[in-house]
């Protein structure tokens, strides 16, 4: 089970209404390499991986949900006061007529989220390599978002998230080594 | 400092202390024999619990796990009150 914590993993402070930046952030909200994809991917893989890496998948998946909440907070704050005209100017006219001011799991191009973004192979090495790639792609996306962001508060939160992807990638790479060691030990005895 | 600002500062302390626990837990997941890290984790848990008590005794529960605590009872039922995290 999970228990909700009434706080963000890291504080998000947004400077001004900025629907254009919100649109770009949707890439990490409902995009292929975004937080929803990451959280769902690991949470689903964990049931069939060796015991030694269940903790890593569970804990990182849980943290990804807290990243998803940070992204949602940024998008919400950047768009809540925007007029339909401002949204349209930012390329969110189509989003507005379908969703109003609400959020939706879609990427920066407006393509809705799909489970085809993620995989579960039933092979722990294959799954973990996909997870490492996912973290590196998310890190790269955060870098492009930082490069394009014109809101210092958002940039600060994005830098935190970029760093977390680095740590997650590292923990997954260590998990691969743990499994390889275990496999080699089995061969010797 | 206004009560609102005080609440925000204390919440930031909770976020800080909890993050140390998140980070050390993840590290120990892949370094289960690192005794120094485990000792740091123990200290971090204690610190996080302390800061959380400080916050919740004044501003209400941060999670439903806090509800049965004496602190939460003292401040009353504040769960369904604003601000939610995205409203700050």
Residue A112 backbone dihedrals phi, psi, to 5 degrees: -65, 155
pLDDT at A173 over 70: yes
Q: What residues contact residue B31 under an 8 Å CB cut-off, 6+ apart?
A: A174, B37
CA neighbor of A92 nearest in space, from A107, A74, A110, A106: A110
Q: Please tell me the predicted confidence (pLDDT) of residue B80.
A: 84
pLDDT band at B72 (very low <50, low <70, confident <90, very high): low
Does B39 contact A at CB distance below 8 Å?
no
pLDDT band at A186 (very low <50, low <70, confident <90, very high): confident
Q: Please tell me the predicted confidence (pLDDT) of residue B41.
A: 98
The ipTM estimated for the assembled molecules is 0.94
The pLDDT tens digits for A86-145 are 999 999 999 999 999 999 999 999 999 999 999 999 999 999 999 999 999 999 999 999
Q: Please tell me the predicted confidence (pLDDT) of residue B64.
A: 80
Check the annotation: does A51 bind a ligand: no
CA dist A98 and A64 (Å) reads 27
Q: Please tell me the predicted confidence (pLDDT) of residue B75.
A: 67
The pLDDT tens digits for A6-30 are 999 999 999 999 999 999 999 999 9
Closest CB from A5, A60, A63 relative to B63: A5
Q: Please tell me the predicted confidence (pLDDT) of residue B58.
A: 87
Q: Please tell me the predicted confidence (pLDDT) of residue B78.
A: 78
pLDDT at B74 over 70: no
CA neighbor of A42 nearest in space, from A134, A113, A111: A134
Residue of B nearest to A177 (CA): B30
Q: Please tell me the predicted confidence (pLDDT) of residue B44.
A: 98
pLDDT at A64 over 90: yes
Contact in structure between B61 and B79 (CB atoms under 8 Å): yes
| Annotation: CATH topology of A19-188 | Ferritin (1.20.1260)
Mean pLDDT of A57-86: 98
Residue ranges per structural domain of chain B? 3-76
Query: Which residue carries 């700050």 as its tokens?
Result: B88
pLDDT at A156 over 70: yes
DSSP-derived letter for residue A80 is T
Output A78 or B74, whichever has higher pLDDT: A78
Alpha helices in B1-87 (DSSP H): 3-30, 35-59, 70-75
Closest CB from A3, A59, A174 relative to B25: A59
pLDDT band at B79 (very low <50, low <70, confident <90, very high): confident
Q: Shortest Cα distance from B72 to chain A (angstroms)?
A: 14
pLDDT at B12 over 70: yes
């Amino acid at each position: 089970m999970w228990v909700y914590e009434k706080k963000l993993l890291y504080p998000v402070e947004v400077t001004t209404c900025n629907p254009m930046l919100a649109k770009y952030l949707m890439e990490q909200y409902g995009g292929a390499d975004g937080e929803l994809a990451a959280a769902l991917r690991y949470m689903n893989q964990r049931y069939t991986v060796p015991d030694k890496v269940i903790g890593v998948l569970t804990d990182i998946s849980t943290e990804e949900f807290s990243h998803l909440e940070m992204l949602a907070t940024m998008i919400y704050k950047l768009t809540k006061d925007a007029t339909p005209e401002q949204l349209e100017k930012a390329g969110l006219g189509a989003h507005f007529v379908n969703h109003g001011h609400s959020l939706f799991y879609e990427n920066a191009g407006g393509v809705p989220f799909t489970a085809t973004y993620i995989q579960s192979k039933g092979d722990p090495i294959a799954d973990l390599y996909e997870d490492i790639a996912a973290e590196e792609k998310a890190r790269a996306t955060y870098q492009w978002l930082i490069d394009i962001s014109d809101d210092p508060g958002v940039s600060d939160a994005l830098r935190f998230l970029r760093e977390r992807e680095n740590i997650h990638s590292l923990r997954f790479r260590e998990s691969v080594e743990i499994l390889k060691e275990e496999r080699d030990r089995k061969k010797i005895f | 400092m206004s009560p609102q600002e005080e609440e925000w500062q204390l919440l930031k302390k909770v976020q800080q202390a909890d993050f140390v626990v998140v980070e050390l837990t993840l590290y120990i997941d892949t370094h289960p024999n690192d005794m120094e890290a485990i000792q740091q984790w123990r200290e971090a848990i204690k610190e996080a619990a302390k800061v959380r008590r400080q916050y919740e005794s004044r501003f209400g529960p941060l999670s439903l796990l806090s509800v049965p605590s004496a602190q939460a009872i003292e401040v009353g039922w504040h769960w369904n009150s604003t601000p939610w995290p995205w409203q700050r």
